Structures are given as structure tokens and as C-alpha cells.
Amino acid sequence: MPERKPSRCTARQSRSEGQPTAQQKVKVILLQRDRLIADIAMLRARGGSSKFVDNAQQLLTRWWSTANWDGREELLRSADWLVRLEQRQSA
């Protein structure tokens, strides 16, 4: 008996259940950036101006506009790491 190919609807459902769409991915990236910028502002308000905070802010501003979306994900990871270092140091 020959195998049946999945219908377009089934293929679409399995894709939507597994991987986020490009729009969803962009939305998550932008939300993460907003959260990190708020964390940086909070650290600065507490007097936590250090090289970690300065570098994290540069990653999310200066280098952000020239990066593609994959590069922006890398910038987010790096900035998040720097912010967490500063939070631990100031705790």
C-alpha cells in the first residue's frame, strides 16, 4: 500500500507547533532587548555604572542597528551575561 503524503494543512500545523514564525521570533528578540534596557536603567539608577553596564548598553544600542536578527540574538546573549555579572557584583 503506498504511503500518503501529509496534507498542506497537516504540514502547516506541525510547523506552527514546533518552530516559531519569523514574526514571533522578532517579537521575542525585541521584548528581550526592552527587558535588558530596563535592567540597565535600574542598575544605573542604583549607582551601578560599571564597565559591564556600559558595554551591555553599547551592545544594545551602538551595535544593534547594524546587526541582522541572528546577530541581535548574539548581542542579547552577551548583554544579558554582562547585566547578570553586574547584578551579582552589586548584590
| Rounded Cα distance, 41 and 63, in Å | 18
Instruction: Give the pTM.
Output: 0.77
How far lies 63's CA from each of 18, 33, 57, 73, in Å?
A: 31, 13, 10, 12
Mean pLDDT, rounded, for 3-9? 58
Residue 8 lies in a domain: no
- Among the listed residues 53, 25, 70, 10, the one whose alpha carbon sits nearest the alpha carbon of residue 61: 53
What is the count of structural domains for the chain? 1
Amino acid letter, residue 65: S
The residue segments making up the domain with residue 63 are 20-90
The 10s digit of each residue's pLDDT in 33-84 is: 999 999 999 999 988 678 999 999 999 999 999 999 999 999 999 999 999 9
